[in-house]
Amino acid sequence: MSNRENPRDDSREDTEKNEERQSSESSQPERRRQSNSQSRRPRPSGRRRRSRQTEYCPDGKCFDYKDVDTLQRFITEAGKIRPRRQTGNCARCQRNLAREIKRARHLALLPFINVTD
């Protein structure tokens, strides 16, 4: 009587082979993870935010719509308001700056756009 005649024997052999294959497969990713984690340097926990000191922030009102020379420093050549990253203003002063620039534009003290040829 050979092994082929008894189907139970075949199923036992198949399950043993599957178990061996699964155990060897499960150990491989663990080895990869360990080697990768050792070769990488640890991630920083987060970016440190440095406090931003506003370039132009006196006590009281930050900007005035009548002070066109000051407002023009915060406008690009195309006439757009510069972002906070470029101006270095705090959020409150940037909002006030935008409001005052819009007021000056409305009163025709500043152009809405600069047309260049």
Going from N- to C-terminal start, the domains of the chain cover: 53-116
* Gap between the Cα atoms of 12 and 1, Å rounded: 17
- Render pLDDT for 25-81 as a digit per residue (tens, 0 to 9): 555 555 555 555 566 776 667 666 665 555 666 666 678 999 999 999 999 988 999
Other Cβ atoms within 10 Å of 101 Cβ, number:
23
Hey, which CATH number is domain 53-116, 3.40.50.300, 2.40.50.100, 1.20.1290.10, 4.10.640.10? 4.10.640.10
- Render pLDDT for 23-40 as a digit per residue (tens, 0 to 9): 555 555 555 555 555 667
Q: What is the DSSP string of 60-91?
A: S----TT-HHHHHTTB-TTSPBPPHHHH---H
